[in-house]
Amino acid sequence: MISAGKYFKDKFGHKMYKAAVSLNVTCPNRDGTKGTGGCAFCSAEGSGEFASSCTLPVCEQIDAAISKLSSKVPADTGYIAYFQSFTSTYCDADTLRKVLTAAASHPKVEALSVGTRPDCLPPDIVEVLSEINRSIPLYVELGLQTSDDKVAESFGRGYETSCYDEAVKVLHEHGINVITHIIFGLCGETREGMLRSVKHAVKCGTDGVKFTCLYIIKGTRYEKLYNEGKIEVLDQQEYFDIVEDALSLLPQDTVVHRLTGDGPKKTLIAPSWTFNKRQVVNYINRRFKDLL
């Protein structure tokens, strides 16, 4: 495996940071197509808490994200416009082309990253992604979360794992880099099951991975289960033990984009160890310094 920092430095010649962008889209788990209310763990913002309002033009959102970051990052930093919230390809092909083209035209943007679901990649959307990927490096981030269809059904993912397999194949046929999101600690999943998800993504040829622990967020279905004592969250040691095992399963060239996520501060309920971001970063730096 290779750390994202090293991978980006080799590819772009300097550090890369993400400038979060949100689009005026929802997702099939929210608009009634596959379900309503979203996945059992998903926040009302659809994981887009770090972006500006979707009502602002894309380049203004990028400017706002860059100005927030600029005092903390080196002057020669490059930026990845990150379409993170909800399902960024859940729109028509022309709209997607327009927003991706606008982001790609921003003078400080050197790559794009598009978060989506594997069941939201019809041929015309893949064609747009492929077209954009020919002009600027493009990453597609797929929310697999688990390869266990029963666990996925329990949180209401709304597609089968075979759909993810097919999406990775199609994106690769178009030369598009795939990053797979996996959650450790989902309700009903064993440690072996979590590692099976990693093996599955590797078998499908994912180019990169993002791991996160399960967060309990206010207003979600998991909050209710958590309050009723029906879900437990992983403690820090347990979670990073699983991460360490997961890293050992990755081929040399798989890029590790994230070892854990960032829960939205205002609505985060558990795990409590994730509240102190600095402490988590220090822990990761100590424990994984030789691995990444």
Judge whether 12 and 111 are in contact, CB under 8 Å.
yes
- Does residue number 51 form part of the binding site for ligand SF4 (CB under 6 A)? no
Assess 87 for contact with ligand SF4 (CB under 6 A). Answer: yes
Contacting residue, 65, 100, 117, 250, with ligand SF4 by CB under 6 A: 117
- Which listed range, 3-11, 37-45, 206-214, 246-254, lies at the site for ligand SF4 (CB under 6 A)? 37-45
In the set 19, 27, 111, 151, which binds ligand SF4 (CB under 6 A)? 27
- Shortest distance in whole angstroms from residue 13 CB to ligand SF4: 33
Judged by CB under 6 A, which stretch of 11-19, 26-34, 95-103, 282-290 contacts ligand SF4? Answer: 26-34
**Is 42 one of the binding residues for ligand SF4 (CB under 6 A)?**
yes
For residues 269 and 233, the answer to whether their CB atoms sit within 8 Å is no
Q: What is the DSSP letter of 82?
A: E
The pair of structure tokens assigned to 236 is: 């820090």
Asked if residue 147 lies in contact with residue 161, where contact means CB atoms within 8 angstroms, the answer is yes
Sequential DSSP letters for 165-233: HHHHHHHHHTT-EEEEEEEES-TT--HHHHHHHHHHHHHTT-SEEEEEEPPEETTSHHHHHHHTT----
Q: What is the largest CA-CA distance in the chain?
A: 50
Give the nearer residue to ligand SF4 in terms of CB position, either 143 or 271: 143
Instruction: Based on the shown chain and the rule CB under 6 A, indicate whether residue 271 belongs to the binding site for ligand SF4.
Output: no
Q: How far is the CB of 154 from ligand SF4 (least distance, A)?
A: 13
Instruction: Write out the H or E segment, with its range, that includes residue 208.
Output: strand 208-213
Rule CB under 6 A: is residue 143 a binding residue for ligand SF4?
Answer: yes
Q: Which residues are near ligand SF4 by CB under 6 A?
A: 27, 29-30, 38-39, 42, 46, 86-87, 117, 143
